[in-house]
């Protein structure tokens, strides 16, 4: 009988321990889900601030300096926001390269730096982060 009570007591202690572990697990899972929802909301808010310019407003020119020489290339603006732009170009630029971007169709220009450069065949997709607000060209 004493052995039976000891086994029952041990099983009860294990069950209480398992419930405690389950509560902690559930709490961590809820916190993780909340963090994911907040991150998704943040991405959604950033996406809502972006817009894709029309064809006539998507043509752009980028200018940068390499080996002490001023260089430039044509580009197409794929999407644009207050913080930056995603452009397509035939030229690869290293991340952190400072550039000047001009969008004649929108009469906008500004300074930026390259955040990333991804290659797809002979095209490069560059993410630009503006250093300040874009300004209107006269």
Per-residue model confidence (pLDDT) at position 32: 76
Could you tell me what percent of the chain has a pLDDT over 70?
A: 86
* Mean pLDDT taken over the chain: 84
The answer to whether residue 138 scores a pLDDT higher than 80 is no
**Number of DSSP helices (H) and strands (E) in the chain, helices first:** 2, 7
How would DSSP label each residue in 11-63? HHHHHHHHHHHHHHHHHHHHHHHHHHHHHHHHHHHHHHH-BPPPHHHHEEEEE
- CATH for 55-136 (2.40.10.220, 2.160.10.10, 2.40.110.10, 1.10.760.10): 2.40.10.220
Q: pLDDT for 19-78, tens place per residue?
A: 777 888 787 888 878 777 776 665 555 544 677 777 777 899 999 998 899 999 999 999
Per-residue model confidence (pLDDT) at position 13: 72
Give how far the C-alpha of residue 121 lies from the chain's centroid of Cα atoms, to the nearest Å.
23
87 close to 60: Cβ distance less than 8 angstroms: yes
Per-residue model confidence (pLDDT) at position 64: 96
99-127 mean pLDDT:
93
User: Domain segments of the chain: what residues?
Assistant: 1-49, 55-136
Per-residue model confidence (pLDDT) at position 135: 87
123-132 mean pLDDT:
94
Banded model confidence at residue 126, pLDDT cuts 50, 70, 90: very high
């Amino acid at each position: 009988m004493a052995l039976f009570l000891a086994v029952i007591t041990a099983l009860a202690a294990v069950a209480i321990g398992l419930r405690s572990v389950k509560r902690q697990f559930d709490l961590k899972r809820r916190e993780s889900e909340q963090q994911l929802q907040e991150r998704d909301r943040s991405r959604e808010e950033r996406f809502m601030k972006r817009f894709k310019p029309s064809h006539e407003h998507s043509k752009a020119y980028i200018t940068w300096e390499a080996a002490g020489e001023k260089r430039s290339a044509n580009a197409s603006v794929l999407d644009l926001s207050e913080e930056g732009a995603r452009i397509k170009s035939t030229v690869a630029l290293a991340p952190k390269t400072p550039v000047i971007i001009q969008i004649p169709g929108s009469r906008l220009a500004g300074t930026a730096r390259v955040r990333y450069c991804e290659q797809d065949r002979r095209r490069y997709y560059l993410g630009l982060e503006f250093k300040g607000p874009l300004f209107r060209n006269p």
